[in-house]
Structure 1
Amino acid sequence: MDALSQALAKSRQTISAYEDYAERYDQIVRHVPNEREQASLKRLVAIAGTAGQILEVGSGAGYDADFLEALGVKVRRTDATKRFLELQAARGKHGELLDLLTDDLGGPYDAVLALAVLIHVPRDQIEQVLAKIAGSLRPGGAFLVSMRNGDGETDGNYHTVLWRRDDFAARIESAGLVLIRDDFNEGRNREEWNTFLAVRPA
């Protein structure tokens, strides 16, 4: 099995696990972004412009998109998990199926948002995915992404890849983006996270 086939197999396993867990996940996560998350989203909108269009990959239950839309931007909500899109549809929100590994992202967008999503991209596919995201941005467009901090990866139902801050920052810059800010925080269960804000050069 080649690298892409292995990556797709791991991705399908993770998506399947989320299909079964989506409703429970929806109950666990905050329905409103916390203050730190709101500050990051506001910085993204400041670059995108309030008339901008943002692509959100891995929208999940859709509450970050709700917050962004309340600030005036348009959000293309996408996820690889159908059940998450059904949960959003039940709230009157439209989302689309999108697989980062195989699908064209469209664009150009004023910003791309990927919070706690690229942790599921196999390590040997991350450069291609970041290049695809960079290519979907307009010049001057912004990219906001959060990644689990650490080494190695987990291979359970949810394949999760951990990245050290400097290693992932280097991948962002290799994709042709300019890193303008990063923040470190502890999430649920004392998980460590790095959040990166980058822009495509104008």
Structure 2
Amino acid sequence: MKVPAEALAKSRRTIESYEDYAVRYDEIVGHIPHPNDRAALERAAAIAGPGGQVLEIGSGPGRDADFLEGLGVKVRRTDATRRFLDLQAARGKTGELLDVITDELGGPYDAVVALAVLIHVPRDQIDQVLAKIARSLRPGGAFVVSMRDGDGETGGRYLTVDWRKDAFAARIEAAGMELLSHSFRIGRKQRGWNTFLAVRPS
């Protein structure tokens, strides 16, 4: 499906902004997943099984991928920002450029992980992106996603789109996945975050 020019332009601005911000971002975020995310990642890795193939969308500095690999799965690290991949390469980790809005995802994967990244997908593109993720999973495969809680969105250099828990859960289910668990936490700047674990039905 063709992506509207306006949505594509917003996404491109966000990617370009992260090229300048990647090093600072790595310094700010923790190198160990938050307990809520960690619990969801552990369940996803268990579903994937030893040696399972996991696609991570928006790997950033790659710390969540490090955690997943420590659980015995194989992670395809991807990001739309080249500078993040350079940071990982400096640590001996290989990643690939991938834009979840415009690129095919491949698969089938045993799990797909997208932590704090789909907040940059324009609201009118989220259904297409979630459907693409669902198609990339094997039957029974797991999906872990975290989204910032709220109703608004910001423009400027970084497009960010907030979603309320029930509204985003409905989008996950509309894409053909079944919600297994949800957790809520307060993150930086006292903003709420929802972490979802879902599966593609067998």
TM range (shorter): over 0.9
CA contact (8 A) 2:36 2:195 kept: no
CA contact (8 A) 2:134 2:200 kept: yes
1: distance between equivalents of 2:38 and 2:149? 21
What residue ranges of structure 1 are gaps of 5+ in the alignment? none
Cα offsets for 1:40-83 (capped at 9, x unmatched): 21111111112200000000000000011011100000000000
Residue 42 of structure 1 corresponds to which residue in structure 2? 42
Residue 4 of structure 1 corresponds to which residue in structure 2? 4
3-state SS, counterpart of residue 156 of structure 2? coil
2: distance between equivalents of 1:42 and 1:110? 13
TM-score by length of 1: 0.97
> RMSD of the alignment, in Å?
1.1
Shift of 1:3: 6.4
Shift of 1:115: 0.2
Aligned pairs for 1:5-24 (under 5 A) are: 5-24=5-24
Which residue identity is paired with 1:153? E
Aligned pairs for 1:120-199 (under 5 A) are: 120-199=120-199
CA contact (8 A) 1:52 1:110 kept: yes
Shift of 1:36: 3.0
Task: Kindly indicate whether residue 193 of structure 2 is the aligned counterpart of residue 201 of structure 1.
Answer: no
3-state SS, counterpart of residue 104 of structure 1? coil
CA contact (8 A) 2:77 2:94 kept: yes
Residue 100 of structure 1 corresponds to which residue in structure 2? 100
Distance 1:123 1:178, change over 3 A: same
What residue ranges of structure 2 are gaps of 5+ in the alignment? none
2: distance between equivalents of 1:150 and 1:37? 19
**Structure 1 consecutive aligned stretches of length 4 or more whose deviation exceeds 6 Å:** none
Cα offsets for 1:8-57 (capped at 9, x unmatched): 10000000110000001111111122333322211111111122000000
